[in-house]
Structure 1
Amino acid sequence: MSAIASEVLISRLADWGVDTVFGIPGDGINGIMEGLRRNADRVKFVLVHHEEAAAFMATAYAKATGRIGVCLATSGPGGIHLANGLYDAKLDHAPVLAITGMQETSVLGTGYQQEVHLDRLYEDVSVYDQMVVNPAQLPALVDIAIRTAYARRGVAHLTVPNDIQVAEAGEQPYQLVAPAKPPATAPVYLPPPVRPRDSDVRVAADVLNAGGRTAILAGIGARGAGRLVEQLAVALDAPIIKTLSGKMVVGDDSPYTTGGIGLLGTGPSEELVEEIDTLVMLGTNFPYTKHLPEPGKVKVVQVEIEPTRAGLRLPTEVPLIGDVGATLEALLPLVTPRAERPLLERYQAKMRDWREKMAALENPERDPIAPQYLASLLDRLATDDAILTCDSGTIATWAARHWHIRGGREFYLSGNLATMAPALPYAIAVQHAYPDRQVIAYPGDGGFAMLMAEFHTAARYHLPIKVVINNNNSLGQILWEQMVLGYPEHGVRFGNPHPDYAAWARGCGGFGVHVTKAGDLETALREAFARPGPALVDVAVDPNEPPMPGKVKYEQAKHFAEAFLRGQPHKASIATTLFKDKIAQLKES
């Protein structure tokens, strides 16, 4: 049997260390599927139920491993379905390769069935985007695509017409008298130097040594440099604020962190931002500028690997272009350690008070179940190397505040895109990458419903993921956003009948249980966590529990009150929930 171009494509992926491809077959990629079959000993194909999930899985695989994530979709609608997950990769700078099918080259431009020019569709989402028109282009295009995805930390895309997929490997169909010779590339990526210039490091040290009240804002770009970040915190008397994506840079049990920032952050972090005169930004492009200091009121030193992002959010005295770890190794010897640490000590006291307030909300006696209690049980029962994948919405608030990074724990969600639905496919991909670790998906009911078919994918591959649904039977985040804007709620509660997600899990061959009473919750979670295969716990939580900001501003409170006066239909139950929260916190104080 002669080798076909798709064999070269898949074999080259394997040469790059790709061991998993997520996707769905279709008539537009039958040749590529044959290439996968012929290379099944080197590359595993994971069959999913929706292409959007395949793109989320590739993104999560890349985020969790640092290696290229690969997804595959057929021509036309299959490729279109990938787009949301690919934008998740783009906005969070994850290296992903999307491979799609295309109609035969002989019919392109004729309005043929499912003729969607995916290379044009992906122009905005991709850092490298090519249609393969000659079998001889492979494997060079694979090399360039993957190398570009790594170098530019984004999405690369190759679309391959049907006739090219099954053509003889290396064939050049349009031979000239002296045909051009394809480049001889190699499946190798060499990262560029990541240490900034010594002169810039010295200037940065001067700025930091002159600072009075300094804070550190650490993002996911500082992952792996947590020890150095803490050393800088001690030297500068600088508390560490963490972005949500950067939650695992340092542990939540670190004595130097004030936790998160923004609507999902902590009160102490918000207060710290208002007090400082110097800010060190490490590996973050935090987009919510209203939660950052006023421009011009602070001196900023920023460490950023991508030059175009340096100084993007705040005027920056010293942009240090480089890797956070390598930069801190160069910077720390030049920093003059503070003799005393009054700022750290004061914010350590504030964080003790904040943690007591959060613990007061984790009340097992509440009915309906407090979502904070659910999140706290996940935190207490999970292993110290567990990986939590989170959806967007109110659950992100509960995870930010009640899921604590300690030991080897990790945390993943859709950061800058903040899309719904990734928690379940993220968990599946991460479990494929780390089969021996505990992986917990933590979606809301709205996000879970969008891609719930992928629980069957987990069952089919015998993946022991645990899915815990924070079910408030509504689009909870939108509900509260409408109220903060001063609008009565509209179109956010699903009502009756309630879907039976536990029955769906059992129908897929997994474990499924629905919990409505707080007293039953711990037993259900323990049973689910002990199961060898996939398990789902659907938890009915209080739909009237607000994800309050760490520090409520006057305008937010004003609009919230106006929404009540305009006829909020659930104002009595919401007021009761808020009253219970306040009583619980007063008991702890």
Structure 2
Amino acid sequence: MAKQSAADILVERLLDWGVEVVFGMPGDGINGLMEALRKCSQRIQFIQVRHEEAAAFMACAYAKYSGRLGVCLATSGPGGIHLLNGLYDAKLDGQPVLALTGLQFHDLIGTSTQQDVELDKLFMDVAKFNARIMGAAHVENMVDVACRTALAYQGVSHLTFPVDLQSAPAERKGSKRNIPYHSSDEFARTARLPTRQDLEQAAAILNSGERIVILAGRGALGATDELLELAERLGAPIAKALLGKACVPDDSPYTTGPVGMLGSRPSQQALENCDTLLIVGSSFPYIEYYPAPGQARAVQIELDPARLGLRYPVEVGLIGDSARTLQELLPLLEYQEKRDFLERAQQGMEDWQALMRDRGTVRDTPMKPQVVAWELGRRLPDNAIVSCDSGTITTWFARQIPVKRGQMHSLSGTLASMANGLPYAIAAKIAHPDRPSVAFVGDGGLSMLMAELATCVKYQLDVKIVVIKNNSLGMIKWEQMVFLGNPEYGCELQPIDFVSVAKGFGVSAFHIEDPAACGATLERAFATDGPVLVEALVDPHEPPLPPSVDLKDAKHFAQALIKGQPNRKKIALTALSDKVRELI
């Protein structure tokens, strides 16, 4: 019987912490860890990826969709470096992830040997806990602290392990003060609640408001019932930050949908006209979309004290879990008899939804991207998990795919990284094998980590990938024009035949360019077993408009056309044309 190694202790301890899945790619800097995982393959699943960045994205998404610790693994040097983008996604969106990496032989570190990158130094910014394992007796303590820290502080922990020490004989006995088994794998989520005084002060502010808006984000995802009761009690519309899209369903009469540049007009109008703001579990980063400072009295519910007042000055900060805090707050709130502010928001939402329906059902050719999102949203079951990429695709995801109660929707929120969509959908399917998992992605984002189609095939994952193909880095193109008044430059993409590529991976594939056939093609894709890719060829000149276009943006847009924007005649006929004609 082979003697136990230090890497075996590490894997055993991960099992004690309830880890069931590790995403990663083998390499000679982690051979000891790979052998330990092989020996425990009946108890812990190793998902082999084609790029370490995808492993980190998957670990982040696994944490988002399961509520558990996500774990990723990479070899020394370049393998560990590749993890960083996905780990920053976890850091900025507050997800518990443990990254495991290898180092070269411990006695050659710092001598410019092959792949001699001191990853613990490199990971100093991304990780809340970051350590180098010094030997077998060090493993148990480090794994416990790393897992506990990631879960307690909702962030990234990193452990790096010299390759020769991984295979060293297991020895839990260390220094005289390092008593074996002294650390614990027990962890309790915070039971913190605001004080009674803070609750009463918050209630007094909310009870005195007449035009109250609730801004709900990622931290409110587990507080659906409480949010709906709160909105009814206060007569307050619920505007949603994108990471909080699924906190209340979009068919609720209390929500005005998303906020910000990708948001809805009713949400923007509610924030512009409110006198009271209640922020629940959100640090939505776009400060310009909040009420003007001093316009509204504000209360914030937030688990992380460091985020209180981060975006908007608040009078009372309630530190605690959103659902439990609202349960304590609700009995102190009076029923708001005046409903006109809510009713105006509801009428605005009816008009907005009609506009989204019109844009989602237009039969113009080239096909509009909104049509694909609209037809997809109509066909998603109540238990679907939808993962979106970054770019113009995010606009159509935010507006044209309504969230139903029971669904999960997520993306790279604060980092807004491209390439996350497919890895997210893979992780969703692994976390919830019985639920439909859909990746709604752009051609730019998908092409970055397209090799993960092989991961879908390797593990027979029934993931549906809908790629919006406009042969452009669309969001950058529009930002160049609308923000700066310059013609687009460097944004055109060499077209990729995604259908042929997908079939080359062994993935079933369909093509759509006729809007009249869009719905039926999506139904065929969903009825096909196994991973499926749908390539939707769309109008590359359809702009991701903000909720309202101000004259400054329209002026910049007109300047871009005058300076020689390619395809300016076609672009001038888009939804921006009315504003442009006011100026030229």
Name the residue aligned to 2:238: 240
Alignment of 1:157-176 (within 5 A): 157-170=158-171
Corresponding letter in the other structure for 2:486:
Y
Contact 2:6 2:135 survives alignment (8 Å): no
**Distance change >3 Å, CA 179–CA 350, structure 1 → 2:** closer
Deviation, structure 1 residue 204 = 0.4
Name the residue aligned to 2:104: 103
Answer with 307-316 or 520-529: which moved more: 520-529
Name the residue aligned to 2:259: 261
Q: SS at the partner of 1:29?
A: helix
Corresponding letter in the other structure for 1:486:
G
Alignment equivalent of 1:531, drawn from 517, 528, 533 = 528
Name the residue aligned to 1:565: 562
Hey, what's the Cα distance between the residues in 1 that align with 2:551 and 2:317?
Answer: 35
Answer with 355-364 or 91-100: which moved more: 355-364
Segments of 5+ residues of structure 1 without an aligned counterpart are 583-589
Deviation, structure 1 residue 179 = 6.7
Hey, what's the Cα distance between the residues in 2 that align with 1:477 and 1:458?
Answer: 28
Alignment equivalent of 2:301, drawn from 303, 325, 344 = 303
Deviation, structure 1 residue 579 = 7.8
**Distance change >3 Å, CA 581–CA 223, structure 1 → 2:** farther
Alignment equivalent of 2:467, drawn from 448, 466, 469 = 469
**Distance change >3 Å, CA 185–CA 579, structure 1 → 2:** closer
Hey, what's the Cα distance between the residues in 1 that align with 2:178 and 2:359?
Answer: 69
Name the residue aligned to 2:311: 313
Contact 2:5 2:166 survives alignment (8 Å): yes
Alignment of 1:85-104 (within 5 A): 85-104=86-105
* Cα displacement string for residues 48-87 of structure 1 (whole angstroms, at most 9, x for unaligned residues): 1000000000000000011000000000000000000000
**Distance change >3 Å, CA 4–CA 243, structure 1 → 2:** same
Deviation, structure 1 residue 364 = 4.5
**Distance change >3 Å, CA 145–CA 108, structure 1 → 2:** same
Contact 1:241 1:258 survives alignment (8 Å): yes
Hey, what's the Cα distance between the residues in 2 that align with 1:273 and 1:328?
Answer: 21
Contact 1:361 1:581 survives alignment (8 Å): no
* Cα displacement string for residues 74-111 of structure 1 (whole angstroms, at most 9, x for unaligned residues): 00000000000000000000000000000111111211
Contact 2:425 2:439 survives alignment (8 Å): yes
Hey, what's the Cα distance between the residues in 2 that align with 1:126 and 1:581?
Answer: 48
Hey, what's the Cα distance between the residues in 1 that align with 2:162 and 2:172?
Answer: 14
Hey, what's the Cα distance between the residues in 2 that align with 1:358 and 1:170?
Answer: 63
Q: SS at the partner of 2:23?
A: strand
Hey, what's the Cα distance between the residues in 1 that align with 2:323 and 2:360?
Answer: 36
Contact 1:119 1:131 survives alignment (8 Å): yes
- The question of 1:551 aligning with 2:552 is answered no
* Cα displacement string for residues 157-208 of structure 1 (whole angstroms, at most 9, x for unaligned residues): 0001011100111266xx77x5753561111111222211111000100111
Contact 1:388 1:441 survives alignment (8 Å): yes
Contact 1:386 1:437 survives alignment (8 Å): yes
**Distance change >3 Å, CA 383–CA 251, structure 1 → 2:** same
Alignment of 1:125-524 (within 5 A): 125-170=126-171, 180-181=178-179, 184-484=182-482, 485-495=484-494, 498-524=495-521
Answer with 127-136 or 337-346: which moved more: 337-346
* Cα displacement string for residues 137-170 of structure 1 (whole angstroms, at most 9, x for unaligned residues): 1212111101000111100000010111001112
Hey, what's the Cα distance between the residues in 2 that align with 1:133 and 1:103?
Answer: 13
Hey, what's the Cα distance between the residues in 1 that align with 2:452 and 2:87?
Answer: 18
* Cα displacement string for residues 425-482 of structure 1 (whole angstroms, at most 9, x for unaligned residues): 0000110011111111011000000000001110111000000001110000001000
Hey, what's the Cα distance between the residues in 2 that align with 1:507 and 1:522?
Answer: 25
Q: SS at the partner of 1:98?
A: strand
Deviation, structure 1 residue 409 = 1.2
Contact 1:134 1:171 survives alignment (8 Å): no
Contact 1:213 1:278 survives alignment (8 Å): yes
The number of aligned residues is 577
Corresponding letter in the other structure for 2:404:
R
Contact 2:554 2:576 survives alignment (8 Å): no
Contact 1:20 1:43 survives alignment (8 Å): yes
Hey, what's the Cα distance between the residues in 2 that align with 1:510 and 1:338?
Answer: 54
Name the residue aligned to 1:586: none
**Distance change >3 Å, CA 198–CA 510, structure 1 → 2:** same
Name the residue aligned to 1:70: 71
Hey, what's the Cα distance between the residues in 1 that align with 2:331 and 2:407?
Answer: 30
Hey, what's the Cα distance between the residues in 1 that align with 2:227 and 2:177?
Answer: 55
**Distance change >3 Å, CA 581–CA 387, structure 1 → 2:** farther
Deviation, structure 1 residue 577 = 3.3
Contact 1:233 1:239 survives alignment (8 Å): yes
Contact 1:138 1:170 survives alignment (8 Å): no
**Distance change >3 Å, CA 580–CA 294, structure 1 → 2:** closer
Deviation, structure 1 residue 363 = 2.9
Alignment of 1:39-54 (within 5 A): 39-54=40-55
* Cα displacement string for residues 482-538 of structure 1 (whole angstroms, at most 9, x for unaligned residues): 01120111010124xx21111111111120122222233223211111111000011
Name the residue aligned to 1:20: 21
Corresponding letter in the other structure for 2:295:
K
* Cα displacement string for residues 372-428 of structure 1 (whole angstroms, at most 9, x for unaligned residues): 000001011221211110000111000100111113111010000000000000000
Contact 1:307 1:321 survives alignment (8 Å): yes
Structure 2 length-normalised TM: 0.97
Name the residue aligned to 2:582: none
Deviation, structure 1 residue 581 = 10
Corresponding letter in the other structure for 2:253:
P
* Cα displacement string for residues 7-53 of structure 1 (whole angstroms, at most 9, x for unaligned residues): 11111111111110000000000000000011111100000100000
Name the residue aligned to 1:585: none
Hey, what's the Cα distance between the residues in 2 that align with 1:313 and 1:503?
Answer: 46
Hey, what's the Cα distance between the residues in 2 that align with 1:107 and 1:71?
Answer: 25
Contact 1:364 1:519 survives alignment (8 Å): no
Contact 1:128 1:145 survives alignment (8 Å): yes
Contact 2:361 2:374 survives alignment (8 Å): no
* Cα displacement string for residues 549-580 of structure 1 (whole angstroms, at most 9, x for unaligned residues): 01212211111111111111111111233389
Contact 2:258 2:264 survives alignment (8 Å): yes
Corresponding letter in the other structure for 1:214:
I
Contact 1:459 1:510 survives alignment (8 Å): yes
**Distance change >3 Å, CA 307–CA 467, structure 1 → 2:** same
Corresponding letter in the other structure for 2:401:
W
Hey, what's the Cα distance between the residues in 2 that align with 1:554 and 1:116?
Answer: 51
Contact 1:285 1:312 survives alignment (8 Å): yes
Q: SS at the partner of 1:224?
A: coil
Hey, what's the Cα distance between the residues in 2 that align with 1:367 and 1:56?
Answer: 35
Name the residue aligned to 1:3: 4
Contact 2:245 2:403 survives alignment (8 Å): yes
Deviation, structure 1 residue 348 = 0.7
Moved over 4 A (4+): 579-582
Corresponding letter in the other structure for 2:20:
D
Corresponding letter in the other structure for 2:520:
T
Contact 2:259 2:289 survives alignment (8 Å): yes
Hey, what's the Cα distance between the residues in 2 that align with 1:580 and 1:439?
Answer: 37
Structure 1 length-normalised TM: 0.96
Contact 2:73 2:101 survives alignment (8 Å): yes
Hey, what's the Cα distance between the residues in 1 that align with 2:378 and 2:578?
Answer: 21
Hey, what's the Cα distance between the residues in 2 that align with 1:266 and 1:327?
Answer: 28
